Amino acid sequence: MVRIFPYAATQFTAFEMYKKLFSHILGINSHAAKFLAGSGAGVTAVLLTYPLDTIRARLAFQVTGEHVYTGIVHTAVTIFKEEGGLRALYRGLVPTLCGMVPYAGLSFYCFERLKFTCMKYAPHLTCDPCARNTGGLVLLLPAKLLCGGFAGAVAQSVSYPLDVTRRRMQLAMMNPETRKYGMGMVKTITMIYRDHGVFRGLYRGMSINYMRAIPMAAVSFSTYELMKQLLNLDTGMKLA
């Protein structure tokens, strides 16, 4: 919870800012503008909150009975003092950023395109009239959830191997047997592939991850759209 609030706030705020910027440069209907805006938003959020993600991972994966860390502050201080300062808190950042570019880019792009498709081709099924919105329509909640969930599934499928790599690198120093995974992104990916292959290594846990990622994306996008509606902000789009 300590991480998700600043992460989500930064990501969605940055997306709106980047969308205006790239739409001005590349055109309002540009596919690249939406993808780049999403990627930029994801990268910005990660850079600001990554140490909190490392701390969360360490606390979550402690072995029962061997609690090295006692809380958020203690974890941060211990990692900083014993593992190399700020660099240790950002261990695994490179694969995270490499994964975030396609993940955030595709998730925002897919959501925007699905939203456009619903409004343009199936408004009688997926929308209500809304005079203040561009295009005069607003997505119904079930449509918001479906668009968000599908966008999350597509993005997660592409970026998952890099998420596995990030997690291995974040947890590398917790056990002598896993320290080999703290030597860099390329070496970590190579070792995972060599030891376990593609599906049992780089895509390990994918099905379970879908059960978390799809509803999370659905709720995140829907909540964002609903909050904009409550604040009387435009959630429509040009349909011409």
CA distance 23 to 226: 23
How big is the CA angle at 130 (ends 148 and 125), to the nearest 5 degrees?
Answer: 55
Where in the sequence is the domain holding 221, given as residue range(s)? 4-230
Q: Which of 88, 119, 93, 130 is nearest to 233 (CA)?
A: 130
Amino acid 29: pLDDT: 81
Instruction: Kindly give, in sequence order, each residue whose CB lies less than 8 Å from that of residue 87, ignoring residues fewer than 6 positions away.
Output: none
The vertex-7 CA angle with 22 and 163, nearest 5°, equals 90
Residue 236 lies in a domain: no
Q: Is residue 239 part of a domain?
A: no
Torsion of CA 136, 141, 143, 145, to 10 degrees: 140
Could you tell me if 164 and 198 are in contact, meaning their C-beta atoms sit under 8 angstroms apart? Answer: no
What pLDDT, on the 0 to 100 scale, is given for residue 151?
A: 98
- CATH number, domain containing residue 110: 1.50.40.10
> Which residue, 15, 16, 20, is CA-closest to 30?
20
Question: How many domains is the chain partitioned into structurally?
Answer: 1
Per cent of the chain over pLDDT 90 is 58
**95 — pLDDT class (breaks 50, 70, 90):** confident
More confident residue, 53 or 139: 139
- Residue 238, in any domain of the structure: no
Q: pLDDT per residue over 19-71, tens digit each?
A: 999 999 998 888 999 999 999 999 999 999 999 988 888 888 776 556 678 88
The whole-angstrom separation of Cα 144 and Cα 126 is 9
**Picking from 43-52, 115-124, 129-138, 163-172, which range would have the lowest pLDDT averaged per residue?**
163-172
Residue 237 lies in a domain: no
Q: Cα–chain-centroid distance for residue 43?
A: 9
In a domain, 120, yes or no: yes
Q: What is the DSSP track for 5-57?
A: HHHHHHHHHHHHHHHHHHHHHH-TT-HHHHHHHHHHHHHHHHHHHHHHHHHHH
Q: Output the pTM of the full model.
A: 0.85
In a domain, 158, yes or no: yes
Angle subtended by helix axes 206-230 and 141-170, to nearest 10 = 130
In a domain, 240, yes or no: no
The answer to whether the CB of 160 falls within 8 A of the CB of 206 is yes
Q: According to the 3-state scheme, what is the secondary structure of 117-158?
A: HHHHHCHHHHEEECCCCHHHEEECHHHHHHHHHHHHHHHHHH
Nearest CA to 140 out of 121, 120, 125 is that of 125
Q: What is the pLDDT of residues 176-205, one digit of tens each?
A: 777 777 777 888 888 889 888 988 889 998
202 is a domain residue: yes
Residue 127: beta bridge partners?
A: 139
